[in-house]
Amino acid sequence: MENRYSTDDTREGKFLSLRFRMVEEQLVTRGIQDAAVLAAMRSVPRHQFVSESLQSEAYADHPVCIDHFQTVSQPYIVAYMLSALDLERSSRVLEIGTGCGYQTAILAEIVEDVYSIEILPALLFRANQTLDRLGYRNVHTMLGDGALGWAAAAPFDAIIVSAAADSVPEQLVAQLAPNGRLILPLASKDGSQHLVLVKRTESGVALDELLPVRFVPLRKTGLS
């Protein structure tokens, strides 16, 4: 994290104030209270995860395009999903859809170990580079289909899926620890999507439908 401000201090200072404003205006005023999530979102330089030409939009109240027709989620949605997971420092977390690595970095600020799976090789390569450059050493990434989970690193206290599925992937539920939480966008037949929180309880699983959302679909293969 030592190189974060080395390129151009004035420019980075401008992004820092945009970032603080993003947290106040988009997150705090809309009810996000999780202190660890708010601190991480004040800290991670979101603009460094998007291409140079889109950096000025990085802190705006909407998703931003990354490569291969994918997007980095709107800041509020990232904060909302992570708050719903009730993370603790010791939580073991799996992320599906590394994308540009922005949310991975937020997670890496909050918990000790983050596991993240991405299906598109070019995106994973770039995310790994960015995370490495920013000094995140507690992130483990893998290329593959995230719907299968990461059995060797399971069980997880929390799993977050950043692409919309048609049904709750069974293997992800199976890789939840007791009391583990899984949050994902779920698509209905009519094309609408909702965030769903799945909790593993002693007697089975409990499902809660949260916000309506719009995510890119969960892919079956890494080929475009």
Residue in 82, 100, 154, 187 binding ligand SAH, rule: CB under 6 A:
100
Residue in 15, 79, 80, 99 binding ligand SAH, rule: CB under 6 A:
99
Residue among 180, 103, 177, 86 at smallest CA distance from 141: 103
Q: In what order do the strands lie in the sheet with 204-213?
A: 139-143, 113-118, 92-96, 156-161, 176-187, 193-201, 204-213
Which two three-digit tokens encode residue 151?
A: 């059995």
Binding mask 160-189 for ligand SAH (x = CB under 6 A): --xx--------------------------
Q: Minimum distance from CB of 71 to ligand SAH (Å)?
A: 6
Q: Minimum distance from CB of 200 to ligand SAH (Å)?
A: 21
Q: What is the C-alpha to C-alpha distance for residues 151 and 172, in angstroms, rounded to an integer?
A: 9
Instruction: Identify residue 130 by its one-letter amino acid code.
Output: T
Q: What angle do CA 218, 137, 37 make, to 5 degrees?
A: 65
Contact of 40 with 109, CB cutoff 8 Å: yes
Verify whether residue 73 is a known catalytic residue: yes
Which two three-digit tokens encode residue 51?
A: 């291409």
Q: What is the C-alpha to C-alpha distance for residues 220 and 60, in angstroms, rounded to an integer?
A: 31
Binding window for ligand SAH (CB under 6 A); candidates: 33-41, 112-120, 170-178, 188-196 = 112-120
| 64 beta partners | 72
Q: Closest CB to ligand SAH among 44 and 176? A: 44
Contact of 183 with 197, CB cutoff 8 Å: yes
Q: Closest CB to ligand SAH among 45 and 97? A: 97
Using the rule CB under 6 A, is 82 a contact of ligand SAH? no
> Residues 43, 53, 73, 162: which is the catalytic one?
73
Q: Closest CB to ligand SAH among 10 and 75? A: 75
Q: What angle do CA 2, 82, 139 make, to 5 degrees?
A: 40
Q: Closest CB to ligand SAH among 45 and 99? A: 99
**Active-site annotation, residues:** 73
User: Where do contacts with ligand SAH occur on this chain (CB under 6 A)?
Assistant: 66, 70-73, 96-97, 99-100, 102-103, 117-120, 123, 145-147, 162-163, 216, 218-219
